[in-house]
Amino acid sequence: MDCGMAQDTTVPKLNFEYWLDKAIEWGQATTLESQKDVCLHLPQLQEFLHQLYETIKHLQGPTVAIQQFPLIGQLLGRLCWNPFVIGYDESQKTLMWCLCCLYSSEPQNAVELKANSWIRSLLCHLLSSSKWESNEAETSTFISALGYTSADYYCHLVKNMVISLVTELRENQCNGLNIQESISASRVNAISIFCVPLITLPDLTPLLETLLLYHGGSSKEILSSEFLEAVNEAFLKKKISLPESAVFNLWLRHLPSLEKATLHLLDQLFSIHLNSLEEVACVIKDSLLPQAASHPAIFRIVNEIFKNALMETDGTPEVMTIIRVFTQLFLQAYQNENKQYKFPLKAYFPYHHQPLVRSLVRRPFELPTTYWSQHVKHISDMLKAILEDTNISSLTDLFEIWFLVACFGEWLDIAAEQLLKAAVEPGPVLWLLAFYYCPKNENQQRTETMVEAQAVYNHLMTLFSHTDLSLKDLEAAVHRVTGVEHCCNQQLTTHLLTNFLLFSSGGHKIAQECIYNITEITDTRKEVYNLLIHTAYRFNHSGEENQRTVKLMNELLQKFTLKV
Amino acid sequence: MEPVLGQVEQLPALLAVSRSALVRDWDSLTLDRALEWARYFQHLYDRFRARPQLREALGRRLRRSQPCPLLGFPALGCCPQLLGLALLENRALPPAACRRLLRSLLQPPCAGPGSDPRGLELLARRKAAARLLALPHHDPGPEPQLQAEARLLLSRLRQEGQEAGEAAGQLRWLCGALEPLPQPRAFGVVAAALALLKQGAEGDECTAGLLLSWLLGNQERFSAFCLCIPCSHLAFLAGHYSQLRRPYLDLLTGWGRHLHYDPLQGQWVKSCLDKAELSWEELRERFICLCQGSTPLKEQTQAALEFLRTQDGDFRVRGLSVWTDLLMEMGCSWRVEFQNL
């Protein structure tokens, strides 16, 4: 596989021998193995053909091209007779362009004359249903007599073939128990291999869909992995559109495709700058993964991949944001599912404390606002009880619980908000926040965080209704953010402080300046930004009555966006 | 309007030239002009497509300009492709003109706008697809190639039906279209077209009537058709088209009458070996197929056989009347069928 790779030199070395050997091998063998080998090499071959075209289009006349690449005729000729190559993506286009370059308008010698005639017969072989292929001569006469061209004919022919195969597969699926009538697994496997080069041909869509929904009698996968991978690839690159059910089936039956789709989504989200959670939600929804996650098996695998991504990135806020939005969208899809086909929640979260899961999956808008603080307290109490349970001993167990809570982070934001806005018993709410920011309590870190948070909270509450605030009033709190070593304390304090600025009577006056101070001195830019976009997203969906808060929020976000 | 009509009259001549040896004298300028004409015709198609009166006038003029009127208004729409592919297949086209043709057909990168960039690539891709998907055929119906040709025939027939009007003209047109095909192929296409008309939304009494008139209008043709098409397919058609039942049964009756009983061999044999007729086994097979069809078909077949048996003296022993023996065979097969239920 030394071809098609990027070369250092400006003129890429065109490895004719390699591809000619391949073409000869493919032309002689008709086994499934050699067909798979063709499928495997199609993208590289296309790249090679493209380079070849770019090289020969500048050469003066076919004789020069033939002198420079003596094998060109043999190679192109053989490739033209390989339906896998001609059927694949844009290979047929590039091949025809290459042939076009070799055609001389004023043939000067016998070679050029011969090349001309050879090129025309190849093009006719590729394009017409004509005399060059004797068995189709009748067809050609008939369709031209009707005033149609081979383009119309092959359009109908392919559609008919697709319909016929679809019917065969569907009927077979229906009477799948009837052994005598069932199609052999090898036939289905062969169909799937023949489809590989044609996946992006729109006529094929019904057949792709039927194949993806088709399961033979045995539990073994009967579709070729080349096919499954190629369909997934084309779907991720948006080269084809498939019905949701077909995509879900692809991911259910082919784990590597599901992994690839999940990683592709993460890549996609990392490569764009996230201006709002609406954008994130849009990209995630577009991937069909939240909808597919209604199948518990898919949900658990995607969730596992996300968890790993979070650990590998040391818990960056961006990844956490993605996970939170994904979970919300999954819940939305899950709740829209028809009751009859709904899996129980336990199928998605099999190893967790079910009452806790049930509380976390409640969407805030399902509950009256007045009930929120009670719900937060309930979650906090349950968590505390679980942690005090002696069974939760290992760090892994602790992480699993933390991750579950983090996925439903909307309740944490509401907790922090309720702390300032509503008359709540602060203890349990502060404990919940402390757990989120400092899950471990080996050396009493969490207890310390709690004490710290309590102090900040008390201080902020004394200032909450002051309309005339100065930065100096908040100095103590700001200092706790900028001065401490424990990052958990820092993050929790930042969270409280940001909410204070948003919701208190006088916070709006000093918000810009205060946030500027914090983010300049500390490393909490990302945290504050993510906090703000989460809050903005929630406001947009459930509404916030206080117009001043909404205005301030937008101003702060704008500042952040400008700076990026 | 008259000048446009005059131009349209030139289309059949243009296509005829493009398929002839006359292109030998074409240079790249001639080729460009021809392609320009083709694009102009396509332009006319786009312009008049939605205006029935003008469309009809153009179609009429186009038909009038051909000895055997096969090209109608729709031909204007695909003129560049019709012309391009005809020229590509024409070996008489000299190199300079051919190179120009390839350039304009294949549209290398940065080609001018206004052309269908996916046209020929898509065609090559589809042709390759047809080869890849041509796995051993499982469907009991006609093969996909015949079906594709049948679909093209049907869509052209419908367009003709909209434009040409009177039935006699359409029948002439159909004869003209099917004539160049060798008989087995033409029969296959017509049978596939009749079957398609009974599937889904393609139903269309007029078109079916036309195909049946062509088929039944000539006794020899119909007889050849019935010999050529597999008996299960014939039974399917006879089940769906009541017009076919009587002629088909009459034909089978005629063939049956030519069988005579050979007491030495103890079986029915052909009276004349080389005549295009059916053997006893083939005849039996055909009747069995008919009796496996819909109830009316089955009843009509049975009634016909019983009537023939009565005519022959209503014997109930083997070897005297071919109809008695057929009914006995049918009786057996019915019983088997009944037991299988």
Assess contact for B192 and B146: CB atoms under 8 A. Answer: yes
Task: Note the residue count of chain A.
Answer: 564
Asked if residue A272 has pLDDT above 60, the reply is yes
Best of A35, A56, A81, A120 to substitute, by most chain B Cβ atoms within 10 angstroms, is A120
The SS3 assignment for B69 reads coil
Helix A317-336 / helix A296-312 crossing angle, nearest 10 deg:
170
pLDDT tens digits, one per residue of A107-139: 989 989 999 999 999 998 898 875 444 455 677
The values of phi and psi at residue B268, to 5°, are: -80, 135
pLDDT tens digits, one per residue of A296-305: 999 999 999 9
Angle at A234 between CA A232 and CA A235, to 5 degrees: 65
pLDDT tens digits, one per residue of A410-447: 999 999 989 988 888 888 999 999 999 888 877 778 88
Given pLDDT bands bounded at 50, 70 and 90, which one contains residue B61?
confident
Given pLDDT bands bounded at 50, 70 and 90, which one contains residue A201?
very high
The SS3 assignment for B261 reads strand
- The lowest-confidence range among A74-78, A560-564, B230-234 is A560-564
The SS3 assignment for B108 reads coil
Selected residue with higher pLDDT from A487 and A113: A113
Assess contact for A169 and A211: CB atoms under 8 A. Answer: yes
Distance CA A48, CA A94 (A): 10
B85 and A155 within 8 Å at the Cβ level: the answer is no
Given pLDDT bands bounded at 50, 70 and 90, which one contains residue B106?
confident
Given pLDDT bands bounded at 50, 70 and 90, which one contains residue A7?
very low
Chain B residues lying within 8 Å of A143, measured CB to CB? 149, 152
| Residue carrying structure tokens 């993605």 | A322
Give the type of residue at A233: E
Per the structure block, which two tokens stand in for A56?
């020969």
Best of A92, A131, A226 to substitute, by most chain B Cβ atoms within 10 angstroms, is A92
Per the structure block, which two tokens stand in for A532?
């703000």
Assess contact for B44 and B4: CB atoms under 8 A. Answer: yes
Q: What rounded mean pLDDT belongs to chain A?
A: 86
Assess contact for A139 and A153: CB atoms under 8 A. Answer: yes
Consecutive H or E run containing A123: helix A110-127
Among A458, A553, A474, which Cα is nearest to A510's? Answer: A474
Distance CA A288, CA A304 (A): 17
Q: What residue of B is the nearest CA neighbor of A79?
A: B128
B122 and A123 within 8 Å at the Cβ level: the answer is no
B269, β-bridge pairs: B260
Residue B63 is predicted with a pLDDT of 77
Q: What is the dihedral of CA B299, B301, B302, B307, to 10 degrees?
A: 120
Please state the rounded mean pLDDT for residues A62-80: 92
Among A248, A509, A534, A239, which Cα is nearest to A408's? Answer: A534
A161 and B144 within 8 Å at the Cβ level: the answer is yes
Asked if residue B309 has pLDDT above 80, the reply is yes
Asked if residue A513 has pLDDT above 90, the reply is no
Chain A residues lying within 8 Å of B74, measured CB to CB? 147
Calculate what percentage of chain B has a pLDDT beyond 70.
86
Per the structure block, which two tokens stand in for A291?
């909808």
Distance CA A34, CA A22 (A): 10
Residue B284 is predicted with a pLDDT of 92
Residue A174 is predicted with a pLDDT of 67
Please state the rounded mean pLDDT for residues B269-298: 85
Per the structure block, which two tokens stand in for A399?
């992480």
Q: What residue of B is the nearest CA neighbor of A160?
A: B144
Across the interface, which of B88, B148, B181 has its CB nearest the CB of A124? B88
Please state the rounded mean pLDDT for residues B275-281: 81
Given pLDDT bands bounded at 50, 70 and 90, which one contains residue A183?
confident
Asked if residue B33 has pLDDT above 70, the reply is yes
Asked if residue B109 has pLDDT above 60, the reply is no
Half-sphere exposure of A25 (CA within 13 A, CB side): 14
Given pLDDT bands bounded at 50, 70 and 90, which one contains residue A8?
very low
Selected residue with higher pLDDT from B92 and A487: B92
Residue A449 is predicted with a pLDDT of 84
Selected residue with higher pLDDT from A285 and B58: A285
Helix A395-407 / helix A354-361 crossing angle, nearest 10 deg:
20
Among A279, A282, A327, which Cα is nearest to A306's? Answer: A327
The values of phi and psi at residue A86, to 5°, are: -65, -35
Q: What rounded mean pLDDT belongs to chain B?
A: 84
Across the interface, which of A85, A154, A156 has its CB nearest the CB of B123? A154
How many CB pairs below 8 Å do chains A and B form together?
194
Asked if residue A371 has pLDDT above 70, the reply is yes
pLDDT tens digits, one per residue of A39-48: 999 999 999 9
